[in-house]
Amino acid sequence: MKTVIVGGVAGGMSAATRLRRLDELAEIVVFEKSGYVSFANCGLPYYVGGVIGDRQQLLLQTPESLKVRFGIDVRVNHEVTAIDRDAKTVAVTNLTTGERFTESYDSLVLAPGAAPFVPPIPGAERALALRNIADTDKLAEVVDATLARTRSERLEASIDETVARLEPTAVIMGGGFIGLELAENFSQRGLKVTVVELADQLLAPLDVEMARRVERHVVANGVAVVTGASVASIEDGAVTLSDGRTLPADLVIAAIGVRPESGLAAAAGLRVNGRGGIVVDGQQRTSDPHIFAVGDAVEKVDAVSGDAAMVPLAGPANRHGRLVADVIAGRAVQARSVLGTAVVGVFGLTAAATGWTEKRAVAAGRKVRVIHTHPGSHAGYYPGAEDMALKLVIDAETDAILGAQGVGKSGVDKRIDVIATAMRGGIPASELADLELAYAPQFGSAKDPVNMLGFIAENMRDELTETVQWHELEAELARGAQLIDVRTPGEFKAGHIDGAINVPVDGLRDHLDAVEPDAIVYCRVGLRGYIAARELVQRGHRIRNLDGGYRTWAAG
């Protein structure tokens, strides 16, 4: 049997190598439009930034190595231009020689990936993107040339005012994962970077109060951030924003997002959704039973809702490529839904997320419970503990975990991975309390931050605590609720929410006359507020705790 694979990298090469391991006699042909069939695309920003110094480290396999080890016929610089479904052939053009030919198949696997979206604005052709090795080489060349030119101009400058104007600049369109990774790497190379994001926050997979932490950290490290605006035009050395501002820009990067490269599939009459995603079944089959599709161009199933979703991540691409090989080899397998678990590091800060945001859940009509905590990365008495912010979004009716987010310098990825695993296993939020996680003081706490989320979820489920979210507080105060800060007088003096009175939790029993029947309490992160609320509720008050305390409110 002969399998032809269109496209390499994560999905295509996972399918090819897995199929060889399952079927030594299969004929496997891979056509890759670019000159590189297997490379570490997630490492591209770090090569541009000089963190990865050896370009060869990005190249995981070559056609030659794949031929020697796996017996796979890999042809780079070959573009598949058409599919004849009746004849079961593909039309191919050798981009090096111009030769055109057809190739037959028994099974066809499409792994065309996705292309960076560049908005149709004046000067759009000046914008660079970062998606493959060719993009990387071009971007690295432009960055090097820009820095070299600036150094030369500075040597020729004679007055300070001129020198100040000769700072090399970059504007990045898009505040997502790639945009922030490039911002960090450009900044470390010596460019003055501005990130322009049309939404009112960076990092769409986070809710705004979590994303603001990342934004403040990025700004503190010298990167300018513009939200609520877009690049309207690109000129030589500058960009104009939608709000009329002009920014200097020696180079401009389009990191807005990607669009599926599904034109080949659509032209062949395969089913494609409204966003351009190739529609597949649980075995990654397209509307033609002999044609499969994997990777960023393919529609997935959202794990929370069961609806169709576009999730352009390496993990699902690799898993689905492997699955297709199993199906072709005759194994009974089914694709699982996707959570969209993702992580990014920027200037030493980690931001990670899995599942849905609160914003998305509310927009979908879900009744939710939300938990914010601010634990240490490990036991506080052991040196080096770092604070983090965690957020859990829960279905209030079923106790199911809808999503989680984390921001911090250490330990965030571990906790989000644990929660993603719990979601995959169907573990409800309150049962996070019973997860048995590895503990030693340099790695965690006896009550791990994930366990603590479970304790709080259990208390909320059992109605032992009632909370108010940071974005609900203003309306609650307008309705006349009393606000009590239960921190120490010193903490209160250093900064508090307007309208609050200070009644420290440790002296609360001596000042019960100061508490009104309907009150909201808060502390720094929520624990002392919870203790105060439990004390007062049992005395007949209706007390709500400000979820996540002063730190979450201030972040939001």
| Per-residue model confidence (pLDDT) at position 157 | 66
CB 265 within 8 A of CB 110: yes
CA distance 520 to 543: 6
CB 428 within 8 A of CB 402: no
| Per-residue model confidence (pLDDT) at position 232 | 97
Tokens of 548: 């996540």
| Cβ neighbourhood burial of 421 (10 Å; 0-12, 13-18, 19+) | middle
Whether residue 165 has pLDDT greater than 70: no
160: confidence class by pLDDT, cuts 50, 70, 90: low
Q: 3-state class of 468 per DSSP?
A: strand
Q: What is the pLDDT of residues 294-315, one digit of tens each?
A: 999 999 999 999 999 999 999 9
CA distance 503 to 318: 55
Distance of CA 208 to the CA centre of its chain: 14
Distance of CA 470 to the CA centre of its chain: 24
CB 128 within 8 A of CB 25: no
CA distance 29 to 17: 11
Q: What is the pLDDT of residues 444-490, one digit of tens each?
A: 999 999 999 999 999 999 999 999 999 999 999 999 999 999 999 99
Whether residue 159 has pLDDT greater than 70: no
Q: Are strands 27-32 and 169-173 parallel, antiparallel or unpaired?
A: unpaired
151: confidence class by pLDDT, cuts 50, 70, 90: confident
Whether residue 156 has pLDDT greater than 80: no
Amino acid occupying residue 272: V
Q: What is the pLDDT of residues 35-91, one digit of tens each?
A: 999 888 899 999 999 999 999 999 888 999 999 999 999 999 999 999 999 999 999
CB 23 within 8 A of CB 129: no
Whether residue 436 has pLDDT greater than 90: yes
Cα–Cα distance list, 287 to 265, 268, 290 (Å): 10, 11, 9
| Per-residue model confidence (pLDDT) at position 325 | 98
CB 150 within 8 A of CB 168: yes
CB 32 within 8 A of CB 78: yes
| Per-residue model confidence (pLDDT) at position 158 | 56
Q: What is the pLDDT of residues 375-417, one digit of tens each?
A: 999 999 999 999 999 999 999 999 999 999 999 999 999 999 9
Whether residue 124 has pLDDT greater than 60: yes
Q: 3-state class of 260 per DSSP?
A: strand
In the chain the domains, ranked by start, together with CATH numbers, are: 2-114+259-328 (3.50.50.60), 124-256 (3.50.50.60), 348-461 (3.50.50.60), 467-555 (3.40.250.10)
Q: What is the pLDDT of residues 250-276, one digit of tens each?
A: 999 999 999 999 999 999 999 999 999
pTM of the model: 0.93
Name, in order, each residue with C-beta under 8 angstroms of 55's C-beta and a sequence gap of 6 or more: 47
161: confidence class by pLDDT, cuts 50, 70, 90: low
| Per-residue model confidence (pLDDT) at position 113 | 94
Q: What is the pLDDT of residues 308-346, one digit of tens each?
A: 999 999 999 999 999 999 999 999 999 999 999 999 999
**Is residue 532 within a helix (H) or strand (E), and if so which, with residue range?**
helix 527-537
Q: What is the pLDDT of residues 367-379, one digit of tens each?
A: 999 999 999 999 9
Q: What is the pLDDT of residues 170-215, one digit of tens each?
A: 999 999 999 999 999 999 999 999 999 999 999 999 999 999 999 9
